Amino acid sequence: MTTLTDRPRTALVVIDVQNDVVGEAHERDAVVANIASLVERARSEQVPVVWVQHSDDGMPIGSDAWQIVEELSPLGSEPVVRKTFGDSFEGTDLEDVLAAAQVGRLVVTGAQTDACIRSTIHGGFTRGYDVTLVGDAHTTEDQSAWGAPTPDKVIAHTNLYWQFQDAPGRTAAVVSTNDVDFAS
C-alpha cells in the first residue's frame, strides 16, 4: 500500500537500457527480451510505461551510445525521463510524470543493477512508492576487476535483499517476468 494518496495505478519503469549501458551487460539479450515482453504486456493492459535515459560526458545526448537499444522503442505517447544521476528521481521530472498518471506502484527493470537500479528502487521507496523489482529483467556489467562481485552475484544479492525491504505503508517485492501482475 503506497503512502501516496490518490495514486492507485502501477507503472512499468525501464531504466537506462541504452547501447553503452547494456552493451557488455550480464545476460544482456535475455534481460532485454524480458523487458520487451513486459513492455508489450504493460501496453496491452493500459499500464503506463515510463522510460529513463541517462546521459553524461561519456554518453552525450543524441550519441549512438545514448540511444535506447534497438529491440526496445518508446511510443511517442510514453514519457522519456532524462537523467544525469543514478537515482531516476534526482534532478528529473519523474515524480511529476508519475503523479500525472496517478502512479503509486513502480515495477522496475533495466540497468545497471548496482548503480541506477539500486538508487532508483531506494529513491522510489523512500518517496512513498511501492516498488517491485523484476528479478530477471535487470542487469549490470562486470566490475570484478575493481573488486566488485561478479554480475550474477550482484544481481542475486540485490534480488535477495530487496524482497525483505520494509517500511511503514509501503511494500517491496521481487518477482520474475512471468509473475509480474500489473493489477496488484
pLDDT tens, 77-108?
A: 999 999 999 999 999 999 999 999 999 999 99
Kindly state the average pLDDT of the residues 109-117.
Answer: 98
Tell me if 87 is assigned to some domain.
yes
| C-alpha atoms less than 13 angstroms from C-alpha of 177 in its C-beta half-sphere | 17
Tell me if 184 is assigned to some domain.
no
Secondary structure E strands in 55-102: 80-83
Query: Is pTM beyond 0.85 here?
Result: yes
Q: Please give the residue range of the domain that contains residue 131.
A: 9-179
The answer to whether 136 touches 180, Cβ cutoff 8 Å, is: no
pLDDT digits (tens, 9 = 90+) for 152-171: 999 999 999 999 999 999 99
pLDDT digits (tens, 9 = 90+) for 120-134: 999 999 999 999 999
Tell me if 168 is assigned to some domain.
yes
Tell me if 70 is assigned to some domain.
yes
Cα torsion 79, 84, 89, 94 to 10°: value is -20
Tell me if 46 is assigned to some domain.
yes
Give the total number of structural domains in the chain.
1
Q: Is the dihedral of CA 23, 29, 35, 37 positive or negative?
A: positive
Tell me if 1 is assigned to some domain.
no
**The domain that contains 170 carries what CATH number?**
3.40.50.850
Cα(114)–Cα(79) distance, integer angstroms: 24
Closest CA to 134 of 100, 173, 104: 173
- Among 2-6, 15-19, 152-156, where is mean pLDDT lowest? 2-6
Write out the DSSP string of 30-45.
Answer: HHHHHHHHHHHHHHHT
Tell me if 99 is assigned to some domain.
yes
Tell me if 2 is assigned to some domain.
no
pLDDT digits (tens, 9 = 90+) for 22-67: 999 999 999 999 999 999 999 999 999 999 999 999 999 999 999 9
DSSP lists the bridge partners of residue 25 as none
